[in-house]
Structure 1
Amino acid sequence: MDWERDHAMLALRIDRLATGGLSGTMLIYRGPAEWSDRVAAEPPAEPAALAEEAERLMECAPDPYLAAHVRAMRAVAGHLGGERLPLAEYGRECLGLEPRWVPEEVFEQAHAELDRALPGTPGSLAERLRAWQAAHTLEPIERLPELVDRAVAETRRRTNAIIPLPPGEVVECRLVEGVGFHGAGAYEGGLKSTIHINKEIPFNLADLLYLVAHEGHPGHIAESMLKEAHLGERQRVRFMLSPSFVLSEGLGLLAEELLFPGDEAQVWLNANVLPEAGIRPDGSDFAAVHHAKNVLWGVWGNAAFLAAEGRGEAELAAYLGKWSLYGDGEIAGALGLFRPSAMRPYIFGYFHGWELLRPWVTGPDLVRRLLTEQLLPADVTP
């Protein structure tokens, strides 16, 4: 049996069934074109048959990492076939850790941190946060690609001090519209990558390094590039609803802090970006704002639990408004995340991945492991 071929074909067939042939939702595939062409030409597979194939591959998986990822595929195939596990159990099967409800006291502490970090302007905490974001908004946004290039150069320089990066890499910033994300980094092979940024969302320049480090270096682009270089064919099939992506999103949220400890990100932005945009220091603490923002990713996981219980959109919107501090327009645009979907557990990867990694990544050796090894959440223990 050619296990690697069968594994790739299983991932391609589940991806086709889950997305209707649309790419990029459930699978990052860089394997032979003949395999993907074959799946595209055949009739869609039955979910039950895919679940059985996953069971077979799990029994003879070459290592625990691949077994865990096939287990995730088995759970998704079951979901596509009508199996409805409790959300926490489905999340555990897919992500390799069990999502949990985050107590609101954790969010209260994050709100208190934001209160201290923001300027003492009038209004509620949510209003003050939106005022701070507006004061740091780049106009016009068409200036952003040049600033992203500057941030990429700095984050790449600092990442190269942790782990050698290949010379000749090209990272382009592309402004896009009609998409459901704020920013997304994609490694395209051949040392070429693109950071896509949604031009329809106002861009907060205080978040420039936070976003670029997450999507670029040492986040998603660096991880994809380095793992392809270090692992070769073992890295050509990446099923997104899986344990490895918990660590990827956790690393992304941690990325700025790893490169710019303390107030170094704010110092760099004040020296290299903000003055030419006409933005002057206002006494805010960017690092504390971003820490609180990472904590508040837990709100979205709680909202997913509420949605799974059958709570209506009005209740979800009220919960998100209270704890995430998002405005009505932002919440309305995000409610689609909580509709029934095979991908629903992915939202848990952000907070739980960040919470898992933050006490573990205590030095450059562990960053290098995250960027070059196939690790599972179970491997990340104090």
Structure 2
Amino acid sequence: MKTWLISLLAMLSLLATGCSKQEEQTMEQTQALNNIAEQYVKLILDVGHHHPYYIDAYYGPEKWKDESTKKPLDELLIRNHDLVNQLAATQVDASQALRKQFLDIQLKSVDTFIRLQQGEKILFDDESLGLYDALSPTITEQELDAALAELSLLIPGEGELNQRLNTYKSQFVIPLDKLDTVFNAAIDEARKRTKAHIDLPENESFTIEYVTDKVWSGYNWYKGNNFSLIQLNTDFPIYIERAIDLASHEGYPGHHVFNSQMEQHLVDKMGWIEYSIYPLYSPMSLLAEGSANYGIEVAFPKDERLAFEKEVLFPLAGLDATQVNTYYQVQDKLALLSYADNMIAKRYLDGDIDKEAAIDLLMKYALSSQEKSTQRIGFIEAHRAYVINYNLGQDLVKQYVDRVTGEDDLDKRWAIFADLLAYPKTASMMAE
């Protein structure tokens, strides 16, 4: 059944059987939000004509997409302001409060995005707060230097740490002819673990493609009806730990599950059409990327991950499984450097350093090769403040789940995590 009919049929049913004043009021509020939601979806479709990546997924009415055209940015900005005002004037009860709040935050991010497309210069912190409802913490080079010093003790050899690390990691590259086998084993295990805790639709599925010439390492293209296309970029070596990372992040319980849960619970069941479109540069992405990263440790607690790597993935890749524990000690230290991306992106995009200096800083603090660092700058140029969604998003989701769970109970952790995927919250909503 068409999702836009769900709320209408529910209202007609209540009218036919008789309903209380409170029920009538709730119906009126629902209809008002549905009208704003429809205008919101059509607005996002129109804004999408101004940027090739803005609409990451859409599975609403095809007619709306077909009717969408490229309109002047000034006109779109006015429409967005009108929707913000309409929403503010719409009174809702407690059952509709979260829906209204999420729509309001999403709409306000559209304002920032349109102004960026108009060429307005917006500082990194203002952009991240405007687009993603979150502000990355300040990190200093002194803090990163301390993490480098700890890491240096674990990496053998002499010379620059960047070169030593890449030499060390070269023994953990998945051979290309074994990549598909290793990745499928990882994603099958991730799916099995996720299905044990989250009720996935029977028809959910995905296809894997291996691609080149991209600024990202992996991408999930959600197509609707519980189907995803997962692409892995083979431009650079894929290290063994990335098998579980990518399988969980792009697939289970990451992007594929996140989008499927929203479609199942909010679009199909509730008729909330605003969730049928996913604007990439919006607060939804902080939760999407953050939950996808945090979902790795939910699906694979550390001891279980090490055991699976040692017993299954290392042998499938033809790698020395006796090195698992040492290798993951290195990975733990590398995690201390995760906010270097945000610091470097902020300095570069705010004009404090040039491209060459940004690449040098990535080589020093992200410990990537010059070629890989150049690719990363390409990602930052293309997606700007989006980089905060991975590390900050992961930390905010973890803090939220830890706070709500209140104890070290894996089943409860899964339950809270699954609820967050099915009923999304932005950064500020998670902080409440």
Task: Tell me the TM-score normalised to structure 2 length.
Answer: 0.79
1:80-159 matches, cutoff 5 A: 80-112=117-149, 114-115=151-152, 118=154, 120-139=156-175, 141-159=176-194
Residues 308/189 of structure 1: CA separation in 2 closer, same or farther (3 Å cut)? closer
| Partner residue in 1 for 2:387 | 347
Would the aligned equivalents of 1:337 and 1:344 in 2 still touch at CA under 8 Å? yes
Tell me the distance in 2 between the aligned counterparts of 1:236 and 1:290.
37
1:360 paired residue among 393, 397, 400: 400
Would you say 1:274 and 2:314 are equivalent positions? Answer: yes
1:188-231 deviation per Cα after TM superposition (whole angstroms, max 9, x unaligned): 23333222111222111232111211111111111111111111
Is residue 59 from structure 1 mapped to residue 88 from structure 2 by the alignment? no
Q: Which has the higher helix share?
A: 2
Question: What displacement does 1:46 show?
Answer: 1.4
Q: CA deviation at 1:276?
A: 3.5
**Counterpart Cα distance in 2 of 1:121 and 1:264:** 31
Q: Does 1:325 align with 2:367?
A: yes
Residue 295 of structure 1 and its aligned partner are, at CA, apart by: 4.1
Which residue identity does 1:97 align to in structure 2? A
Note the 1:212-361 alignment, pairs <5 A.
212-232=247-267, 233-280=273-320, 281-282=322-323, 284-310=325-351, 311-339=353-381, 343-361=383-401
Aligned-residue offset at 1:94: 0.9
Contact kept, 8 Å, 2:179 with 2:317, in 1: the verdict is no
Answer yes or no: is the 8 Å Cα contact 1:247–1:349 preserved in 2.
yes
Does structure 1 conserve the Cα–Cα contact (< 8 Å) formed by 2:38 and 2:274?
no
> Aligned equivalents of 2:115 and 2:149: distance in 1?
42
User: Does 1:70 find its partner at 2:120?
Assistant: no
Distance 1:292 1:231 in 2: 39
Aligned to 1:181: 216
Going from structure 1 to structure 2, the CA distance change for 1:289 and 1:305 (only over 3 Å counts) comes to same
The CA deviation string for residues 62-88 of structure 1, in whole angstroms up to 9 with x for no partner, is 601011111111111112123223221
Q: Tell me how far 1:289 sits from its aligned partner.
A: 4.2
For the residues of structure 1 that align with 2:147 and 2:400, how far apart are their CA atoms?
21
- Unpaired runs of at least 5, structure 2: 1-31, 88-98, 268-272, 403-412
Q: CA deviation at 1:124?
A: 4.0
Quote how far apart the aligned CAs of 1:47 are: 1.3
Q: More deviation in 64-73 or 228-237?
A: 228-237
Question: 8 Å contact 1:11–1:239 — kept in the other structure?
Answer: yes
**Aligned letter for 1:18?**
H
**More deviation in 294-303 or 225-234?**
294-303
Q: 1:282 and 1:128, CA in 2 relative to 1: closer, same or farther beyond 3 A?
A: farther
> How has the CA–CA distance of structure 1 residues 336 and 49 changed in structure 2, closer, same or farther, with 3 Å as cutoff?
same
Aligned partner letter, 1:174: E
CA distance in 2, matches of 1:108, 1:261: 28
Q: Aligned pairs, how many?
A: 371
Change in 2 beyond 3 A, CA 1:290/1:317: same
* One-letter amino acid matched to 1:73: V
Q: Deviations over 1:121-153 (max 9, x none)?
A: 5554323321232111122x1432232221111
Deviation (angstroms), 1:367: 0.7
CA distance in 2 between partners of 1:357 and 1:287 (Å): 23
Distance 1:126 1:6 in 2: 50
The alpha-carbon deviation at position 335 of structure 1 amounts to 2.1
TM-score (norm: length of structure 1):
0.89
Cα contact 1:295–1:351 (8 A) shared by 2: no
Distance in 1 between residues matched to 2:345 and 2:132, nearest whole Å: 15
Post-superposition CA distance 1:280-333 (Å, at most 9, x none): 122644544444444433112111221133221121122111111111111122
Is the alpha carbon distance of 1:162 and 1:277 closer, same or farther for their aligned partners in structure 2, counting shifts above 3 Å?
same
Supply the distance in 1 between the matched residues of 2:297 and 2:157 (Cα, whole angstroms). 27
The structural deviation recorded for 1:162 is 2.4
| Secondary structure of residue in 1 paired with 2:431 | coil
Give the distance between the partners of 1:206 and 1:298, measured in 2 at CA. 19
SS in 1 for 2:51: helix
| Structure 2 counterpart SS, 1:359 | helix
Q: Whole-Å Cα distance in 2 between the matches of residues 286 and 185 of structure 1?
A: 27
Unmatched runs of 5 consecutive residues or more in structure 1: none
Counterparts of 1:106 and 1:366, CA distance in 2: 33
Q: CA RMSD in A?
A: 2.3
Verify the 8 A CA contact 1:47 1:81 in the aligned structure 2.
Answer: yes
Aligned residue number for residue 10 of structure 1? 43
Look up the match of 1:381. 431
- Equivalence for 2:419: 369
The whole-number CA distance in structure 2 between the counterparts of 1:162 and 1:286 is: 29
Shift of 1:376: 1.2
Matched residue of 1:184: which SS?
A: strand
Whether contact under 8 Å (1:231, 1:372) holds in the other structure is yes
Q: Is the 8 A contact 1:265 1:287 kept in 2?
A: no
Moved more, 223-232 or 164-173: 164-173
Q: 1:234 to 1:5 in 2, by over 3 A?
A: closer
Larger Rg belongs to: 2
**Moved >6 Å (runs of 4+):** none
